[in-house]
Amino acid sequence: MFRLFERLVHRLGHWSLIACTVCVIYLMVTQTIEVVLRAFGRPTTWVYDINLVVIVGVVFLGLAGAERAGDNVAVDFITEKLSQRTNRVLKVVNSILILLFLALLIWFGIGVVMESLHQGRTTGGLFRIPSALAQSTLPLGATLMALQVIVDLVRVFRPLPGQADGTPVDAEGEPIPGPQEPVEVPLKPADPEP
């Protein structure tokens, strides 16, 4: 049952990360288009307004993916000197604190969205977009991240094979590439030209 839940959470986080990636590509393309069109004296009226909404999507839709890959920065120079048992306790404590914070962001984020819908608020500028559209990415992204944190928390007590050394692994037990992955230094000079 838990494996099914875990797969579902990973699938949702995966699609959310893809949406976040599409937002990054969209920003790159439209910002470039804006520069080119402005050079020809025909700046757009929509790039700035829409991009202000898209950048919010980049932040909140990428949260679950960043959490799963271990990209979120924490200060570990003290905790890494502690025993494995103490670190497990701290992992549980931190997960609970993260869930508490995410719960606040989800609850009050929904409040902000409902208020914007009720008031019919739109973003500023010429291209008026409903504010709720951008604001809803906060509770959505926070919910997906909370689900990922719950999965990680359960995995503290039910580790997958290969996870005992702390290496993050996915639902299939495969290591997830991330900053923790040990990297071998190539002991050879820069590659010659092909």
Partner 1 sequence: MILAVLVACVVLLVIGSPVWVFLGLPAALGTLSIGVPGEAIAARAYEAVNSDTLISIPMFLLVGNVLISSRAMNDLIGCFDSLVGHVKGGMVLVVVAVAMFFGGISGSTTSEASIMALALAGPMLLSGYPKAFTAGLIASTATVAILIPPSIPMILYASITGESVSKLFIAGLVPGVIVSLMLGLGGIIIARRKGYGGSRPASSNSERLHKFLVALPIMTVPAFIVVGIYWGLSTASEIGAVAAVVSILITQFVYRDLGRKKLWAAFVGTARLSAAVMIMNATAQILSWLLAYEGVPQAITSLVTAAHLAPFVFLIAVNVLFFLLGLPLDPPPIMFMTLPILFPTLAILGIDPIHFAVLMMVNMTIAQISPPAGGALFAMATVAKIPLKDVFRGVIPFMGILIIALILITYVPALSLFLVH
47-66 residues in contact with partner 1 (CB under 8 A) are: 48, 51-53, 55-56, 58-63, 65-66
Rounded to the nearest 10°, the torsion over CA 146, 151, 154, 157 is: -130
Q: Which stretch binds partner 1 (CB under 8 A): 1-9, 28-36, 151-159, 161-169?
A: 28-36
**Of 2 and 176, CB closest to partner 1:** 176
Tokens of 28: 């790159």
By CB under 8 A, tell whether 9 contacts partner 1: no
Are 131 and 49 in contact by the 8 Å Cβ rule? The answer is no
Q: At how many degrees (to 10) do helices 84-119 and 137-157 cross?
A: 160
* 41 binds partner 1 per the rule CB under 8 A: no
**In the stretch 166-185, what mask flags binding to partner 1 with x, by CB under 8 A?**
-------------x--xx-x
Using CA atoms, how far residue 91 sits from 47, 141, 153, in Å, is: 42, 21, 8
User: Does 20 engage in binding with partner 1 (CB under 8 A)?
Assistant: yes
Compute the least distance from the CB of residue 77 to partner 1, in Å. 5
Q: Which residues contact 33 (CB under 8 A, 6 or more apart)?
A: 44, 47
Q: How many CB atoms lie within 10 A of CB 151?
A: 20
Q: Which of 42, 85, 118, 188 binds partner 1 (CB under 8 A)?
A: 188
* Contact predicate 59/23, CB 8 Å: no
Please tell me the distance from the alpha carbon of residue 4 to that of residue 95, in angstroms, as a whole number: 21
Site for partner 1 in 105-124 (CB under 8 A): 105, 107-109, 111-112, 115
Residue window 71-100: x/- pattern of binding to partner 1, with contact defined by CB under 8 A: xxxxxxxxx----------x--xx--xx-x
Residue 15 as a binder of partner 1 (CB under 8 A): the answer is no
